[in-house]
Amino acid sequence: MNRAIILARGLYGVWLREITRATRDRGQMIGGISRPLIWLLVLGVGLNPYFRGEVYGEVRYVIPFTYLQFLFPAVIVLNIMYTSIQFAVSVIWDREFGFLREVLVSPMPRSLILLGKVLGGSTVAMIHGGLVLILARFADVTLDLEQMAMALGLMFVLSFGLTCFGVVLASRVRSFEGFGVFSNTVILPLYFTSSSVFPLDPTLSRTQTATAYPEWLVFMVQINPITYAVDALRGTIIGFNQFPAWYGPAVIFAMAAIFFVWALIGFRRQ
């Protein structure tokens, strides 16, 4: 029992350190607020009148939602992605200045050290995702308590998985500059090929979809796990799914488990 308490305190200490460091970083907090504002105000409002498609000569709205409503869940995912993956810079920082080595020689198992760091990053990322929820009324999105609870649950699991993915990247990149460039080359393609800023019209058949969109783009969207994370949040927040509703949660939980195991393998080699 005493050992369990000691390990729990150690886990809490690692988690609290990551939270404290993140809350003291004003730049990160400003980015977490300014990023969704820019996307919703500039892109959401600017493209809202053009959110329609033309299929076989018939012009119609692609889905029965405004572009702001359609984009809103995707901006939550964007905020979570940036915060989760950029959080892994702390792993490089700790490794560079020797703190990680000191922690790794402690009696705590490496799996618990990693879990504490990941939980800290996940908490911060979910807070940044929650900042977007404040703008729900602006996007004409109404959420009840059940929707809010489901959305927060999905956001936390997604944050956990993406933070683990960031740790995987950090274990392979040794410099701050290299990680910044490399992480952006991962975040932006994942986001833009996740059907975040445009829908694959669910009313189209497979043949019509291939006609309306380039085949390579449809393939990229369908194999991208972030596609299903965005779709899960859309289904929860605005009631619109492009895929069967169970796909999103299943992919998010699988992604969290796989990336944690992958991150743990790399973390044990530190």
**Cα separation, 156 vs 76, whole angstroms:** 12
Sequence-distant (≥ 6) Cβ neighbours of residue 181 within 8 angstroms:
none
Residue 205 has a pLDDT of 53
Residue 177 has a pLDDT of 63
Along the 270 residues of the chain, how does pLDDT read in single tens digits?
A: 577 787 888 888 888 888 887 777 766 667 667 777 777 777 777 776 666 554 445 545 456 778 888 889 999 999 999 888 888 777 777 776 666 666 666 677 888 888 988 999 899 999 998 888 888 888 888 888 999 999 999 999 999 999 999 888 877 776 666 666 667 778 888 888 888 887 776 555 556 566 667 778 888 888 999 999 999 999 999 988 888 889 999 999 999 999 999 988 877 766
Residue 49 has a pLDDT of 67
- Full-model pTM: 0.86
Residue 54 has a pLDDT of 47
Q: At 99, which amino acid appears?
A: F
**Cα separation, 7 vs 129, whole angstroms:** 29
**Cα separation, 252 vs 126, whole angstroms:** 14
Residue 240 has a pLDDT of 87
**The pair of three-digit structure tokens given for residue 103, joined into one six-digit string:** 């922690």
**Cα separation, 150 vs 128, whole angstroms:** 17
